Structure 1
Amino acid sequence: MASTEDKAAKQESATGWKDSFYNPRTGEVLGRTGSSWALILLFYLVFYCFLAGMFALTMWVLLLTLDDYVPKYRDRVPYPGLVIRPNSLDLSFNKSDPLKYVQYVKHLESFLQRYNDSQQDKNDDCPPGEYFLQDDTEDMSKKACLFKRGFLSLCSGLSDTNFGYSEGKPCVLLKMNRIIGLKPRGDPYINCTVKRDTPIQMQYFPSEGRIDKKYFPYYGKKAHESYVQPLVAVELLLTKDDYNKELPVECRVEGSDLRNNDERDKFLGRVTFRVTVVE
């Protein structure tokens, strides 16, 4: 049987454990009186309100330094990347099975909606070969030069709604990323090559894959709301000897000061993709 001293020790231990939460003799909760808890809660309330106020003031001052139309810092992305449409770096399909390439056709058709005549007729027919400069205009909203999907000829989806995929001669659209204020020197154009010994015939739209200077500079999403990037369409004129083979294709921006050989960024001024057509 437990001794009287053991029972007293257990009772004292239980009482001490309960008193650590609430002590009825002093009125303390977790070691603090009501006034002590009120003071410490008031301190933290004031402290965190001060921090929130400092954060809001800092953000307000920062926003005052920003321009709604032009980013303050633009030096981190001086050169554009090259983007491919359909949005896939591995184009593989059976030309005899529409279900195998319908996803590519739908993607191209959806992407080209902004290039329809109904949309582009609102833009200006700018003179070719010259930058469309609008820096001196007082109006912050800038005009845009039209680029109709008809400029892409056989790859426009107008005469051939399958963009050549049903014939095993797929079309690929290329565009450069938008960079505010970019004015490429020279005469930029897109050139594509297949990494193998024997070349593959390709057809470019517009002619020779040219990117006209009139589509530069770009003034930003808010100022240039109706702007669309100029496109270059490449139709791969594959033959039966090219079917059932994986063909690596690389396209680059040539003829200008735009960089296309940075090993740290494989998409800077260039893009590489694979095409496999099954007969």
Structure 2
Amino acid sequence: MSTSPQDQDQNQEPNPEKEEQKKEEVKEEVKEEVKAEEKAEEKEDKPEEKQEEKTTEETKEKTQEKGTKNEEKKEKNDEAWGDFIYNPRTGEFLGRTASSWGLILLFYLVFYGFLAGMFSLTMWVMLQTLDENVPRHQDRVSNPGLVIRPHAAEITFNRSDPSDYSQYIQQLHNLLQQYNDSIQERNDLCLVGEYTEQDKEEVKKVCQFKRSRLRQCSGLPDTSFGFTEGHPCIIIKMNRVIGLKPHGDPYINCTAKRDSPLQMQYFPSEGRLDKMFFPYYGKKAHPDYVQPLVAVKLLLTKDDFNVEQTVECKLEGTDLRNNDERDKFLGRVTFRVKVSE
């Protein structure tokens, strides 16, 4: 049978229901493709997450392993220290057994005992060669120096102000306490002008030097030692030297460094240092010994007041040196005095 063109046109007319079905099918296919792509993407992302999870787990495991290792190390160190102090398995204390400690202590005991014995022996031998009264080697010079009291290189005061010179007076009184007549009367009367040699005597006698021998500078008739009048007393003494026996007739001579001479008085007369006070046998053999003194009273006039006076005192009349420029106190002493009204 043949169909007419009209029938063909009718068959070719669009069916709206079928078109809608086709659209829905296309939409579903697109959705399925989208879902498939999302699933593929998710599958691609999951391995990275898994890798990250794996790395975190590995780091956690490593930190845990490190922690356990550190704890094990600490435990091992504690055990090692404990074993070092005392090891119960071997019985060692500080790395040594009791027998080892005993041997080493015995060695050091013998060693140091031997050293102590050698030291004691050498000290004993050396002490046998020494004299307890006289030093074997004397560093000091054989020539004595001179010192003054009041102990000051420059004596400055106002004679009308007692507080200005009270310190000087006190120094002189303190020096002369041991020279009081009541104390010196216990000592021996020695021969004037003769050495008092006592080498063979165990107990050395002491020659008398009474304070009253200084007369106006003794502090007895004038307790101010002339400072009130402006005529101060200066006491000079010679340093002690063991075994010293000065030759000749030693005395003290003072001079003022100025054009005109300065009037002075000496006590004892002429400033003599008698030989009976020599030799000196040392502090231990001669504990009560007192060296002789010489007092010089400076008779200053009104013209001398408010002017600084330089005075030099020397040890004269003997073989002892008094002009050594390297030591200005060897056999001499220099001081300055300034008195104001």
TM-score (norm 2): 0.69
- The CA deviation at 1:254 is 1.9
Q: 1:46 to 1:208 in 2, by over 3 A?
A: same
**Distance between the aligned counterparts of 1:142 and 1:273, measured in 2?**
35
**Distance between the aligned counterparts of 2:83 and 2:305, measured in 1?**
84
**Distance between the aligned counterparts of 1:245 and 1:21, measured in 2?**
84
**Distance between the aligned counterparts of 2:101 and 2:340, measured in 1?**
76
**Distance between the aligned counterparts of 2:84 and 2:339, measured in 1?**
77
**Distance between the aligned counterparts of 1:38 and 1:273, measured in 2?**
71
Aligned to 1:38: 102
Deviations 1:158-206 (A, max 9, x none): 1111111222222111111122221212222212234455543322212
Q: Count matched residues.
A: 277
**Distance between the aligned counterparts of 2:317 and 2:196, measured in 1?**
20
Give yes or no for the alignment of 1:115 onto 2:179. yes
Question: Which region of structure 1 is more displaced relative to structure 2, 255-264 or 12-21?
Answer: 12-21
Deviations 1:29-67 (A, max 9, x none): 433333333333333333333333333333333333333
Deviations 1:223-272 (A, max 9, x none): 44443211111122233444445544332212211112233333221223
TM-score (norm 1): 0.83
Aligned to 2:278: 216
Aligned to 1:50: 114
Q: 1:33 to 1:116 in 2, by over 3 A?
A: same
Q: 1:48 to 1:146 in 2, by over 3 A?
A: same
Q: 1:31 to 1:100 in 2, by over 3 A?
A: farther
Give yes or no for the alignment of 1:258 onto 2:330. no
**Distance between the aligned counterparts of 2:237 and 2:72, measured in 1?**
86
Q: Which structure 2 residues correspond to residues 156-235 of structure 1 after superposition, within 5 A?
A: 156-197=218-259, 199-235=261-297
Larger helix share, 1 or 2: 2
RMSD: 2.9
Q: Which amino acid aligns with 2:121?
A: L
Q: Which runs of 5+ in 2 are unaligned?
A: 1-62
Q: 1:78 to 1:8 in 2, by over 3 A?
A: same
Q: Which amino acid aligns with 2:337?
A: V
Q: Which structure 2 residues correspond to residues 240-279 of structure 1 after superposition, within 5 A?
A: 240-279=302-341
- The CA deviation at 1:157 is 0.7
Q: Which runs of 5+ in 1 are unaligned?
A: none
Q: Secondary structure at the match of 2:147?
A: strand
**Distance between the aligned counterparts of 1:30 and 1:246, measured in 2?**
79
Question: Which region of structure 1 is more displaced relative to structure 2, 180-189 or 87-96?
Answer: 87-96
Q: Which amino acid aligns with 1:78?
A: S
**Distance between the aligned counterparts of 1:79 and 1:20, measured in 2?**
69
Q: Which amino acid aligns with 1:35?
A: S
Give yes or no for the alignment of 1:88 onto 2:155. no
**Distance between the aligned counterparts of 2:190 and 2:75, measured in 1?**
95
**Distance between the aligned counterparts of 2:193 and 2:250, measured in 1?**
11
Q: 1:5 to 1:215 in 2, by over 3 A?
A: closer
- The CA deviation at 1:18 is 4.9
Give yes or no for the alignment of 1:132 onto 2:132. no
Question: Which region of structure 1 is more displaced relative to structure 2, 144-153 or 238-247?
Answer: 238-247
Aligned partner of 1:62 among 119, 126, 139 = 126
